[in-house]
C-alpha cells in the first residue's frame, strides 16, 4: 500500500511550487509596495502644511538643478507659462466651467483632434484603419471556370 497522499490531491510542496511562479511573486511584491504606498499617503493626509512645504522643497531643488546644469529651459518655461495662464484664468468667471463629464469628454476629443489632425489625415490618405472588424478576406485569382467552352469539332 501507498503511504503518501491519495491521488488527485496536492501535497504542501506542490502547492508552494504552484504559488512561487515568477508571475505570482511579482504580483505579491507589487501588491505589497502598493499597500505601503497607500498607507504612507493615508498618513500624510492630515498634515497639509508639511505636504506644501515638501512640495516647495521639491520645486526649489528642481530650480537649483536647472540653474546649476544650465538646461531644461524649455520645460521650465512651459511649466511657468502654463502656471501663469492657469493662475490668470482663475480671475475670470468665464473659465469657471462646472466639471461635468460630457464637457470634459468634448474637451478631450477636441484636443485629440487638434493635436492628431496631421496623423489622422495621413491615415485617411493611405487608408490605414487602426482597428479591424474581423479577418480580412481576399478573393485572389479566379480559377478556370466550371463551364465547358464549346470547342470547334474537327
Provide long-range contacts, Cβ within 8 A and 24+ apart, for 83-89: none
User: How many CA atoms lie within 13 Å of 28's alpha carbon, on the beta-carbon side?
Assistant: 7
Closest C-alpha to 10, from 72, 148, 146, 19: 19
Which range, of 41-45, 81-85, 146-150, averages the lowest pLDDT? 146-150
**pLDDT (tens digit, 9 = 90+) per residue, 48-101?**
899 999 989 988 888 888 788 777 667 777 777 888 888 888 888 888 777 788
- The CA distance from 54 to 40, in Å, is 14
Are residues 130 and 136 in contact, defined by beta-carbon separation less than 8 angstroms? no
This prediction has a pTM of 0.35
pLDDT number for residue 19: 63
- The CA distance from 4 to 17, in Å, is 18
Burial status of residue 66 (CB atoms within 10 A of its CB: 0-12, 13-18, 19 or more)? middle
Are residues 15 and 24 in contact, defined by beta-carbon separation less than 8 angstroms? no
Averaged pLDDT score across all residues of the chain? 77
pLDDT number for residue 23: 85
Are residues 106 and 113 in contact, defined by beta-carbon separation less than 8 angstroms? no
Q: Is residue 154 very low, low, confident or very high in pLDDT (cuts 50, 70, 90)?
A: low
Cell of 21: 511562479
Number of H helices, E strands in the chain: 6, 0
**pLDDT (tens digit, 9 = 90+) per residue, 115-134?**
888 888 888 888 887 777 77
Amino acid at each position: 500500500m501507498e503511504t503518501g497522499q491519495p491521488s488527485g490531491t496536492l501535497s504542501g510542496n506542490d502547492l508552494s511550487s504552484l504559488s512561487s511562479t515568477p508571475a505570482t511573486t511579482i504580483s505579491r511584491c507589487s501588491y505589497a509596495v502598493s499597500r505601503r504606498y497607500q498607507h504612507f499617503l493615508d498618513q500624510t493626509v492630515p498634515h497639509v502644511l508639511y505636504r506644501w512645504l515638501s512640495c516647495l522643497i521639491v520645486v526649489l531643488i528642481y530650480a537649483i538643478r536647472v540653474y546649476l546644469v544650465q538646461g531644461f529651459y524649455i520645460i521650465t518655461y512651459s511649466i511657468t507659462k502654463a502656471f501663469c495662464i492657469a493662475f490668470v484664468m482663475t480671475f475670470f468667471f468665464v473659465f469657471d466651467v462646472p466639471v461635468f463629464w460630457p464637457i470634459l469628454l468634448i474637451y478631450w476629443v477636441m484636443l485629440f483632434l487638434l493635436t492628431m489632425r496631421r496623423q489622422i489625415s495621413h491615415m485617411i490618405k493611405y487608408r490605414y484603419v487602426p482597428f479591424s472588424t474581423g479577418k480580412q478576406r481576399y478573393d485572389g485569382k479566379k480559377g478556370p471556370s466550371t463551364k465547358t467552352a464549346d470547342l470547334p469539332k474537327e
